[in-house]
Structure 1
Amino acid sequence: MRIMKIDTDSTDNGNGIRTVIYVSGCIHYCEGCHNPSSWNVNHGMQFRINELIDIIEENTISDVTISGGDSLTFQYEDTLRLVKEIKAQTNKNIWLYTGYIFEELPETKKEILPYLDVIVDGRFEVAKKDLRILFRGSSNQRIIDVQRSLEDGTTILWKDGQYN
């Protein structure tokens, strides 16, 4: 799996302390993206899934965020394997950032949903950039409680503190 960066003590990519894995590759090309070097799927370093799991397990107090790039684009299959292993081996809370809109997620990408706790959805929009909002770059992006949304059959927004 091609990874741009791993941050083992982030507090701004989801609630609590998080290990953030920045996956290479994105098809959305958002104007004003904070990480445009991640658009190229060939940038970064190659990691095996078990190497990433070892890094995640070493950080016993942190949950996990998968950012990028967009891990649901070029590296979807590897990301799916990674989140399955994270849940199987650690049961940590997993957030995932994607440029896709939750309700418009392609059928071929929905197999990942049972393994995710939260999705931050939508492309970054420079005109809607807002530094006052939590965990997002622009106000069009939403923080979605994936498991409650799957159970209810409708999109349910995540509430701050829900996973404390």
Structure 2
Amino acid sequence: MTKVRLSLAFVAISIVLTPASALAQEFPFQASITAAFAGAPNTAKVGFCGGPTGPSAYAYVVEAHGVGTSTLGFLSLTLQKSLDATGPMHGCVTLTAVNGDTLSATYDGTEGEPHALGFQFGTGTLTITGGTGRFKGARGTVKFTGAFSNIETASYLFDGTVSFGHD
């Protein structure tokens, strides 16, 4: 009986001393989101989420808002990014669940040359940096592909993993 109690005590102490990050569960994350966006020349030379500013700032700023479905449920998207006409883009993304819980991420990618009818495609990575509610302590890496049109709409596909419980 003493050995059983000692074993149970050891297990309990091990669980208490295990860092939260070791207890985090990883989940596949896939989403399809359609957004409307507006862009303008970056006259203020701003960057978002640590992106380049001042003389090295990207040429344009974009704000986008959209909705879609994911393996975590319905989500809305808010995006602020700066970019060059073709080439690098960097920004901040907030994904919000119907109940208000959020996932926060940085957005890094590259946009290609426009096609003859005004479509452009981009690829990149969301780096999940945190969250609120059920997404508290979120971390992860999610690849994205985006299709952008000259009528200010965008469609995104996301695929990666997210884990929770890092805080």
Query: The TM-score by the shorter chain falls in which range?
Result: under 0.3
Q: Which has the larger radius of gyration?
A: 2
* TM-score normalised by the chain length of structure 2: 0.25
Structure with bigger strand share is 2
